[in-house]
């Protein structure tokens, strides 16, 4: 049996998986934890990078990808930790006579290997996209029946990250399908982060930590604050679906509430700051989804806030969670490796409101003196006891660290 460890705030979430049935060695005493189940030892902190889909969808081509790599390497993003340049759907050509996948020679005339070399020469890593079904969501050839061939092709091209989607899978079993591709990737001997895009349908948080490094927990994000828009969801419903899954995330295996919309124009800067802050605190992958070669100052200041990024990349690797829900007013907390907490005061309401957090809600004694730093004002607020309170804009956050 596997019991997930007691987490911050005294909440015990026990996910009991029948490891006995899955062939785990029988040598542990009953009071011992089983050895950790790891996929491949990669992504010890949430992956950071850029992906083509949210902004470019199927209009992606090699020039655009090169421009994004140039931008990431020179605009501060690389120094801030962004690393993976990932082409999403629609790079594919047909399969050749031997069944190997080719690329769209109109959009990628130099070929995927040359593009990967270009990205690597910038000191960055290269990612690509496929699908566990016969066709990708954009109708290009999927990997079903070609898993080992495709993994070999990706490794030959120098791929460091694979996003693997779930369209056209019919009655396939998700765990089986993702495990098959994970085996194929492992067989190549190359380190390839495995991003599973199954939308949460088969509850991947219950089984995917031994298969890959991140799994989507919801349908697709769209550049809107709230609501459902066709198959896509605004920021708030994704946030609320991803939050309760916090016990299942940890180093090497992350809940993925989908890529960032920061900078795509559908939200206010205040809302984008909230989106970025909450994703960072949930230890979500920070995959920019905008045109990073053409960012205004506000967008740049959000994506390049290294204080907020440090919370996301904290080596303890705990997904933060909501510790208080007063309707429109919420307090979120994430324990950090140094014993501190990252805290978000979040106002969903239509008017500005003051929100307070008590130390006891963070698992600290009220008498504790702790240093409070405002991560958006980027200033220290000094030592405080008992509580911290601040006015919070409508749809906004105040994000601080509280360090004893
Ligand atoms: C699905 C995925 C998206 C994107 C598209 C591409 O909808 O969830 O993230 O990869 O397919 O077609």
Res 15 pLDDT > 50:
no
Task: Over range 18-44, report the average pLDDT.
Answer: 59
Least confident of 21-25, 125-129, 176-180, 189-193: 21-25
| Substitution candidate for ligand 1 out of 197, 229, 257, 258 with most atoms within 8 A of CB | 197
Residue 50 above 50 pLDDT?
Answer: yes
Catalytic pick among 61, 88, 220, 256: 220
- Of 57, 89, 139, the one to substitute when testing ligand 1's pocket (max ligand atoms within 8 A of C-beta) is 89
Q: What are phi and psi of 305, to 5 degrees?
A: -75, 100
- Judged against a pLDDT cut of 70, whether residue 35 lies above it is answered with no
The domain spans of the chain are 6-312, 321-403
Q: How far is the CA of 110 from the centre of ligand 1 (A)?
A: 25
pLDDT value at 170 more than 60: yes
Instruction: Compute the distance from residue 52 Cα to the ligand 1 centre, in Å.
Output: 10
First to last CA, the chain: 36
The stretches of 195-268 forming alpha helices (DSSP H) are 235-242
In the annotation, is 165 catalytic?
yes
The predicted-structure confidence for 277-291, as pLDDT tens digits, reads as follows: 999 999 999 999 999
165 alpha carbon – ligand 1 mean position (Å): 7
Give Cα separations from 76 to 57, 72, 301, 306, 378 (angstroms): 25, 7, 10, 10, 17
CA dist 45 → 192, 310, 315, 316, 322 (Å): 15, 10, 6, 9, 21
Do 321-403 and 6-312 fall under one CATH topology? no
Q: Atom 8, ligand 1: which residue's CA is nearest?
A: 220
Please report the pLDDT score of residue 31 as a whole number.
Answer: 65
Average pLDDT over residues 295-313: 98
What mean pLDDT is reported for the chain?
93
Catalytic residue among 165, 256, 258, 291: 165
Which CATH superfamily, name and number, covers 321-403?
A: Golgi alpha-mannosidase II (2.60.40.1180)
Ligand 1: nearest atom to the Cα of 90:
12
Q: Cβ neighbours of residue 233 under 8 Å, at least 6 residues apart?
A: 218, 219, 220, 221, 222, 227, 241
- Position 14 scores a pLDDT of 35
The reported pLDDT for the residue numbered 38 is: 78
Q: Probe ligand 1: pick from 220, 257, 288, max atoms within 8 Å of CB?
A: 220
328 catalytic per annotation = no
Q: Which residues, judged by CB distance below 6 Å to any ligand atom, belong to the binding site of ligand 1?
A: 53, 88-89, 136-138, 165, 197, 220
Alpha carbon of 319 to ligand 1 centroid (Å):
24
Question: What single-letter DSSP state applies at residue 150?
Answer: H
For 320, list phi and psi in degrees, rounded to 5: -65, 165
**Model confidence at 147: pLDDT above 70:** yes
| 202 contact partners, CB below 8 Å, separation of at least 6 | 173, 174, 175
Q: Which helix (H) or strand (E) holds 308?
A: helix 306-312
CA–CA separation, 206 and 15 (whole Å):
8
Atom of ligand 1 nearest to the CA of 136: 12
| Tens-digit pLDDT profile for residues 341-374 | 999 999 999 999 999 999 999 999 999 999 999 9
What is the CA(314)–ligand 1 centre distance, in A?
28
- What percentage of the chain exceeds 70 in pLDDT? 91
Distance from the Cα of residue 221 to its chain's centroid: 12
d(C-alpha 323, C-alpha 111), whole Å: 49
Contacts of 53 by beta carbon, 8 Å cutoff, 6+ apart: 88, 89, 259, 289
**pLDDT tens for each residue of 58-102:** 999 999 999 999 999 999 999 999 999 999 999 999 999 999 999
With CA atoms as reference, report the closest residue to 277 among 264, 258, 262, 292. 262
State the DSSP code for 33: P
Q: Does residue 33 register a pLDDT over 90?
A: no
88 CA closest ligand 1 atom index: 10
pLDDT tens sequence across 106-134: 999 999 999 999 999 999 999 999 999 99
Give residue-wise pLDDT tens across range 205-263: 999 999 999 999 999 999 999 999 999 999 999 999 999 999 999 999 999 999 999 99
Ligand 1 centre from 372 Cα, in Å?
40
Residue 112 contacts residue 128 (beta carbons within 8 Å): yes
- Contact between 262 and 301 (Cβ < 8 Å): no
**Among the listed ranges 20-24, 117-121, 300-304, 376-380, which one has the minimum average pLDDT value?**
20-24
pLDDT of residue 32: 64
**DSSP bridge partners of 382:** 372
Identify the band that residue 36 occupies on the pLDDT scale cut at 50, 70 and 90: low
Q: What architecture does CATH give domain 6-312?
A: Alpha-Beta Barrel (3.20)
* Predicted local confidence at residue 283, as pLDDT: 98
């Amino acid at each position: 049996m596997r019991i997930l460890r007691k987490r911050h705030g005294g909440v015990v979430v026990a996910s009991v998986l029948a490891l006995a049935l899955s062939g785990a060695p029988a040598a542990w005493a009953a009071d011992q934890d089983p050895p950790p189940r790891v996929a491949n030892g990669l992504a010890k902190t949430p992956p950071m990078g850029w992906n083509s889909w949210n902004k470019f969808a199927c209009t992606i081509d090699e020039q655009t990808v090169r421009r994004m790599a140039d931008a990431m390497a020179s605009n501060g993003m690389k120094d801030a930790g962004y690393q993976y340049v990932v082409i999403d759907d629609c790079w594919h050509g047909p399969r050749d006579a031997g069944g190997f996948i080719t690329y769209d020679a109109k959009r990628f005339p130099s070929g995927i290997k040359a593009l990967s070399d270009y990205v690597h020469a910038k000191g960055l890593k290269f990612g690509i996209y496929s699908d566990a079904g016969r066709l990708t969501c954009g109708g290009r050839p999927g990997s079903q029946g070609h898993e080992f061939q495709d993994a070999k092709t990706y490794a030959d091209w120098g791929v460091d990250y694979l996003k693997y989607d779930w369209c056209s899978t019919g009655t396939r079993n998700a765990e089986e399908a993702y495990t098959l591709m994970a085996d194929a990737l492992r067989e190549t001997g190359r380190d390839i982060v495995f991003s599973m895009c199954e939308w949460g349908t088969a509850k991947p948080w219950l089984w995917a930590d031994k298969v890959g490094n991140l799994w989507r927990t919801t349908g697709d994000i769209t550049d809107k604050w709230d609501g459902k828009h066709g198959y896509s969801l605004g920021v708030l419903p994704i946030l609320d679906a991803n939050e309760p899954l916090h016990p299942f995330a940890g180093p090497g295996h992350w809940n993925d509430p989908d890529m960032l919309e920061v900078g795509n124009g559908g939200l206010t800067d205040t809302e984008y700051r909230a989106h970025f802050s909450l994703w960072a605190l949930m230890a979500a992958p920070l995959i920019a989804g905008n045109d990073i070669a053409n960012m205004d100052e506000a967008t740049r200041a959000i994506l390049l806030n290294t204080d907020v990024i440090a919370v996301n990349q904290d080596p303890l690797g705990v997904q933060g969670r909501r510790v208080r829900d007063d309707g429109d007013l919420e307090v979120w907390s994430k324990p950090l490796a140094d014993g501190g907490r990252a805290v978000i005061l979040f106002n969903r309401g239509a008017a500005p409101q003051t929100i307070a957090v008590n130390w006891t809600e963070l698992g600290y004694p009220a008498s504790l003196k702790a240093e409070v730093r405002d991560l958006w004002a980027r200033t220290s607020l000094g030592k405080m006891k008992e509580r911290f309170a601040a006015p919070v804009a409508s749809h906004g956050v105040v994000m601080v660290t509280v360090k004893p």
